[in-house]
């Protein structure tokens, strides 16, 4: 192919097309009942100021989907917005004395411009900004509805407190005893908090996981464990010389006869009473104090040393009537089950270690076999057969559990019980930049709702950002001091704001409408677009956001706002972007700025690279050569298209394709379309789809148009046009530029995705003759276009040839492609 001066200069092409797209309102979408629909969604960003490569990857993945499906004939909803409340805005306010609102909206403007530079096909008319009162007012309304329905409540509870952020954290926001945001050590603090009763949906949230068959397994497992359903029993133990009882939760009621102590969490309400006036009282107090400052995860970790103290009191075994000691220990947690357990050292690893350490009796009540007394080693934690357990002796673990629950129920000392690890969702935050909780506290009337007609309750303006303690909202007396809506007396507004995870729990439904009118979401629009067909985001949201979004969907369903039980059909968790072996981040100093890349090599190259560098769900290692490789590939496509376009003026697609060269090209064209389409559609395997296009381009470069027959020229022309359409979702600016240059009007996005003919795509076969010194020895069917080297290898490996050669070394091997291999000896 002759080279002429077509130079690929993305900075000249890209702004021009973005302007045209905008003018044509190319990305605005209305629902069309005649077309199948797709709702493609990327998790919306926190407006931190600038987008990073992780964002570029996220949005490029979604954009290729959206564009591909649109070309495939779907009605595609592809919206974007801002998860705009949150702590960084406040920290910026503290550090730079800029109001969180100003900071946030400026960041949004910056980031929107950056995203638009990438040419992502968002329908911005649907943009959601969660810190707009027009958005959060609905959240306040939902909160009041939940309050009325008993789904929101206030309670004093020990909660995770981050001393550095000065705020309460949800369990999900604590990992390894540290704050998810600032890594400070989390403390436990008793506080009045608002909760959402997510546990009401625990069973449904768990059951629903079974139907999420297009979610990654790891996310389904994480959610299952997070919800943590345990089936077992609650059993009451009376306390010696007292009227009160201790209730324990156990998943192994069949081991009741092996219980040799009761162990309470140090925070258990009965502890101080039990130890009162005993010799142990001082030790117990000291132990409780020590535990206060020990992190929960640390206490319950498998490797942590088991520590405890005897309370000085005894419990009475409900069946044997025996006296067993009551202890407190570090590994018993206050917020699980009843905060108390019966220790069965013979059959529980932790209890075993504890009993050994403190010399508590160990009683074997389960063994592996049905035999009289086998030599099962302790602790034995598997299922087996009950022994030394009166009525249930001899039964399998499963039957023994059932039977013992019957016995306990009849005696009114126990019942079957299902426990969930999932806790109600604590949503109060002592923060400014969040949705105000629409509640008024009145000395006379207690908790009073703000009347809905007064919503939204906007944030006070008169607040100084100092970063020290408490709720900033309480600093503005004018805002906080109000009259009680019920009695008219002096009252105070609730000064906490809501967890920002609430905003991201329902935004997807709001996107369904362009105009909302007087409701949070529009049912008719939601019915049209939901559920989300493909949801793309990071796996770090597996147990936070992705549980809350499912919870809110069920809430909204129960309110009749949306249909269907689940919000997300397919979840795609993209990998992270690494450079020099570390996650790309400002603190590591290994950031590649998307704007720089776009300015230098163009948005299309940036998009192509983040998709070509590996499978979307795998982590991606940044590679400057890889980026340049992508730029070169696009340049090659650009030059090839424009050069050939000059030479192919007036050439038409042939009526029939008969020449060998044209046939081969036709085959490769159809095969490429097939491979690219399948890879995108089946599992969004973009990197392999791009490879197929690269291979095809390499082949096209081998064809000498000056020598090719007219059929080949016709198929070549078709090949270029098809290639331009196939690259369009990945490199939309360049594709539209080429499409125009090839003489077409409009945008590639409005063209149909190229089809293929299965017959042409099939590998056609040729009969290859194997000869020695010109004499035919064998024949074989080989794929059309099998390479010379491959044919040579096939011939040398052929048994008839091997026999005939009987060890003789060939002097020469002559290959005539698609016809024969002749071995000269």
419 or 677: CB nearest ligand ANZ: 419
Sheet holding 439-442, edge to edge: 446-449, 439-442, 490-493, 481-483
Nearest distance, CB of residue 262 and ligand ANZ, angstroms: 10
**# residues contacting ligand ANZ (CB under 6 A):** 19
Applying CB under 6 A, which of residues 98, 333, 353, 413 lies at the interface with ligand ANZ? 333
| Region binding ligand ANZ by CB under 6 A among candidate stretches 244-252, 391-399, 545-553, 715-723 | 244-252
Q: How far apart are CA 492 and CA 74, in angstroms?
A: 53
CB of 366 to ligand ANZ, least distance (A): 7
Considering the rule CB under 6 A, would residue 344 count as an interface residue with ligand ANZ? yes
Whether 690 and 730 have beta carbons less than 8 Å apart is answered as yes
Q: Which is nearer to ligand ANZ, 333 or 741 (CB)?
A: 333
Q: Toward ligand ANZ, which CB reaches closer, 342 or 725? A: 342
In terms of CB distance, is 407 or 676 closer to ligand ANZ? Answer: 407
Phi/psi of residue 411, nearest 5 degrees? -85, 0
Among 21, 226, 249, 638, binds ligand ANZ (CB under 6 A): 249
The neighbour count for residue 39, using CB atoms within 10 Å, is 26
Which residue, 27 or 336, is less far from ligand ANZ as judged by CB?
336
Phi/psi of residue 62, nearest 5 degrees: -65, -35
**367 binding ligand ANZ? (CB under 6 A):** no
* CB of 297 vs ligand ANZ, minimal distance in Å: 13
348 binds ligand ANZ (CB under 6 A): yes
Nearest distance from residue 247's CB to ligand ANZ, in Å?
Answer: 10
Question: What's the min distance (Å) between Cβ of 261 and ligand ANZ?
Answer: 11
List the one residue from 57, 67, 137, 252 that touches ligand ANZ (CB under 6 A): 252
Q: How far is the CB of 235 from ligand ANZ (least distance, A)?
A: 9
Helix then strand then coil, % of the chain, to nearest 5: 40, 20, 40
> Which of 114, 167, 193, 250 lies at the binding interface for ligand ANZ (CB under 6 A)?
250
x/- map, 264-293, ligand ANZ, by CB under 6 A:
-x----------------------------
Q: Site map for ligand ANZ, 542-581, x if CB under 6 A? A: ----------------------------------------
Query: Is residue 414 part of the contact set for ligand ANZ (CB under 6 A)?
Result: no
380 binds ligand ANZ (CB under 6 A): no
Measured from the CB atom, is 42 or 348 closer to ligand ANZ? 348
DSSP string for 271-312 = HHHHHTTSTTHHHHHHHHHHHHTS-HHHHH-TTSPP-EEEEE
Residue 388 touching ligand ANZ (CB under 6 A): no
Give the C-alpha distances (Å, rounded to integers) separating 524 from 128, 521, 529, 798.
19, 9, 9, 68
Q: How do 446-449 and 439-442 pair as beta strands?
A: antiparallel
Q: Which is nearer to ligand ANZ, 342 or 408 (CB)?
A: 342
| Contact assessment for residue 610 and residue 53, using Cβ atoms and an 8 Å cutoff | yes
Give the CB-side neighbour count of residue 465, counting CA atoms within 13 A: 21
With CB under 6 A as the contact rule, the residue among 43, 56, 202, 342 that binds ligand ANZ is: 342
Cis peptide before 305 (omega within 30 of 0): no
Residue 339 binding ligand ANZ, by CB under 6 A: yes
- Of 336, 425, 432, 506, the residue at the interface with ligand ANZ (CB under 6 A) is 336
| DSSP for 20-88, written as a single string | HHHHTTTT-----TTS-EEEEEEPPPP--SS--HHHHHHHHHHHHHHHHHHHTT-EEE----B---SHH
Closest approach of ligand ANZ to the CB of residue 396, in Å: 15
Task: Tell me the per-residue interface mask from 211 to 240 with ligand ANZ, x by CB under 6 A, - otherwise.
Answer: -------------------x----------
Minimum CB distance to ligand ANZ, residue 402 (Å): 16
Candidates 245-253, 279-287, 576-584, 685-693: pick the segment binding ligand ANZ (CB under 6 A): 245-253
- Closest residue by Cα to residue 725 from 778, 761, 672, 771: 672
The minimum distance between CB 550 and ligand ANZ, in angstroms, equals 22
Min dist CB 292 to ligand ANZ, Å, is 17
For residue 198, what are the contacts with CB-CB under 8 A and spacing of at least 6?
205, 422, 424, 425, 547, 548, 551
Give which of 422, 424, 430, 425 is closest to 191, Cα–Cα.
430
Residue from 76, 227, 341, 608 binding ligand ANZ (CB under 6 A): 341
First vs last C-alpha separation in the chain? 39
Q: Does 255 bind ligand ANZ (CB under 6 A)?
A: yes
Q: Which residue has the tokens 């003026």?
A: 649
- Report how far residue 727's alpha carbon sits from residue 635's, in angstroms, rounded to the nearest whole number: 13
Taking the complex as a whole, the smallest distance from the CB of residue 232 to ligand ANZ amounts, in Å, to 6
**Does position 337 bind ligand ANZ by CB under 6 A?**
yes
Retrieve residue 436's tokens. 């105000």
The rounded Cα 41 to chain-centroid distance in angstroms is 12
Stretch that binds ligand ANZ, among 34-42, 117-125, 251-259, 385-393 (CB under 6 A): 251-259
Please report which helix (H) or strand (E) contains residue 133, including its range: helix 133-148
380 closest CA partner among 353, 351, 347: 347
Interacting residues toward ligand ANZ by CB under 6 A? 230, 249-252, 255, 265, 331-333, 336-337, 339, 341-342, 344, 347-348, 419
């Amino acid at each position: 192919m002759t080279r002429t001066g077509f130079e690929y200069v993305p900075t000249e092409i890209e702004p021009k097309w973005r302007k045209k797209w905008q003018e044509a309102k190319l990305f605005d979408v209305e629902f069309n009942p005649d077309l199948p629909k797709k709702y493609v969604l990327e998790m919306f960003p926190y407006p931190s100021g600038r987008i990073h490569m992780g964002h570029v990857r996220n949005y490029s993945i979604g954009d290729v989907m959206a564009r591909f499906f649109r070309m495939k004939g779907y009605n595609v909803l592809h919206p974007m917005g801002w998860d705009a409340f949150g702590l960084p805005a406040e920290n910026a306010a503290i550090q730079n004395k800029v109001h969180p609102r100003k900071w946030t909206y400026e960041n949004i403007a910056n980031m929107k411009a950056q995203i638009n530079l990438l040419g992502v096909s968002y329908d911005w008319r649907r943009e959601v900004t969660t810190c707009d009162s027009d958005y959060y007012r609905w959240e306040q309304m939902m909160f009041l509805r939940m309050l009325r329905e008993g789904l929101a409540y206030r309670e004093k509870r020990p909660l995770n407190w981050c001393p550095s952020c000065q705020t309460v954290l949800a369990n999900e926001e604590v990992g390894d005893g540290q704050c998810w945001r600032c890594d400070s050590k989390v403390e436990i603090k008793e506080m009045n908090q608002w909760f959402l009763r997510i546990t009401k949906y625990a069973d449904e949230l768990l059951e629903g996981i079974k139907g999420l068959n297009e979610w990654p397994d790891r996310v389904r497992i994480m959610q299952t464990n997070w919800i943590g359903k345990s089936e077992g029993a609650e059993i009451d133990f009376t306390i010696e010389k007292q009227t009160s009882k201790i209730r324990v939760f156990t998943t192994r009621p069949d081991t009741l006869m092996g219980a040799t102590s009761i162990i309470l969490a140090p925070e258990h309400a009965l502890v101080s009473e039990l130890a009162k006036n005993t010799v142990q009282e001082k030790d117990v107090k000291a132990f409780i104090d020590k535990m206060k400052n020990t992190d929960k995860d640390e206490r319950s970790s498998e490797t942590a040393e088991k520590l405890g103290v005897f309370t000085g009191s005894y419990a009475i075994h409900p069946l044997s009537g025996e006296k067993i000691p009551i202890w407190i220990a570090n590994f018993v947690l206050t917020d699980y089950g009843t905060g108390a357990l019966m220790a069965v050292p013979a059959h529980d690893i932790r209890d075993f270690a504890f009993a050994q350490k403190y010399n508590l009796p160990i009683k074997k009540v389960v063994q592996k076999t049905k035999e009289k007394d086998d030599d099962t080693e302790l602790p034995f934690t598997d299922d087996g057969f009950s022994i030394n357990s009166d009525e249930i002796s001899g039964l399998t673990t499963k039957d023994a559990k059932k039977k013992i629950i019957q016995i306990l129920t009849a005696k009114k000392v126990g019942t079957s019980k299902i426990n969930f690890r999932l806790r109600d969702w604590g949503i109060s935050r002592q923060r400014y930049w969040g949705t105000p909780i629409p509640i008024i506290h009145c000395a006379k009337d207690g908790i009073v709702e703000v009347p809905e007609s007064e919503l939204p309750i906007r944030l006070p303006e008169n607040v100084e950002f100092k970063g020290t303690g408490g709720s900033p909202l309480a600093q503005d007396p004018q805002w906080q001091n109000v009259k009680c809506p019920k009695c008219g007396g002096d009252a105070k507004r609730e000064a906490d704001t809501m967890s920002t995870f609430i905003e991201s729990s329902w935004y997807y439904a709001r996107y369904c409408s362009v105009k909302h009118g007087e409701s949070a979401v529009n049912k008719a629009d939601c019915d049209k677009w939901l559920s989300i067909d493909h949801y793309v985001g990071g796996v770090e949201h597996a147990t936070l956001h992705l549980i809350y979004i499912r919870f809110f969907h069920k809430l909204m369903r129960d309110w009749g706002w949306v249909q269907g039980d689940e919000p997300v059909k397919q979840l795609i968790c993209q990998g992270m972007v690494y450079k020099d072996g570390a996650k790309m981040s400002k603190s590591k100093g290994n950031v590649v700025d998307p704007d720089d890349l776009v300015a230098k090599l163009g948005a299309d190259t940036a998009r192509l690279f983040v998709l070509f560098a590996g499978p979307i769900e795998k982590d991606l290692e940044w590679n400057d050569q890889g980026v340049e490789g992508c730029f070169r590939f696009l340049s090659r496509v650009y030059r090839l298209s424009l050069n050939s376009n000059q030479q192919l003026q007036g050439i038409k697609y042939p009526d029939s394709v008969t020449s060998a060269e044209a046939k081969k090209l036709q085959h490769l064209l159809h095969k490429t379309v097939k491979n690219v389409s399948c890879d995108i559609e089946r599992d969004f395997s973009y990197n392999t789809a791009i490879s197929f296009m690269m291979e095809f381009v390499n082949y096209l470069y081998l064809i000498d148009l000056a020598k090719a027959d007219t059929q080949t020229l016709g198929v070549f022309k078709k090949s270029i046009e098809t290639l331009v359409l196939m690259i369009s979702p990945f490199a939309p600016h360049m594709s539209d530029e080429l499409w125009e240059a090839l003489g077409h009007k409009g945008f590639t996005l409005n063209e149909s995705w190229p089809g293929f003919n299965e017959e042409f795509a099939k590998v056609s076969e040729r009969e290859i003759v194997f000869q020695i010194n010109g004499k035919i020895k064998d024949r074989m069917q080989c794929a059309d276009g099998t390479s010379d080297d491959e044919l040579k290898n096939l011939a040398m490996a052929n048994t008839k040839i091997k026999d005939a050669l009987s060890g003789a070394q060939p002097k020469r091997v002559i290959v005539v492609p698609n016809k024969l291999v002749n071995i000269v000896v």
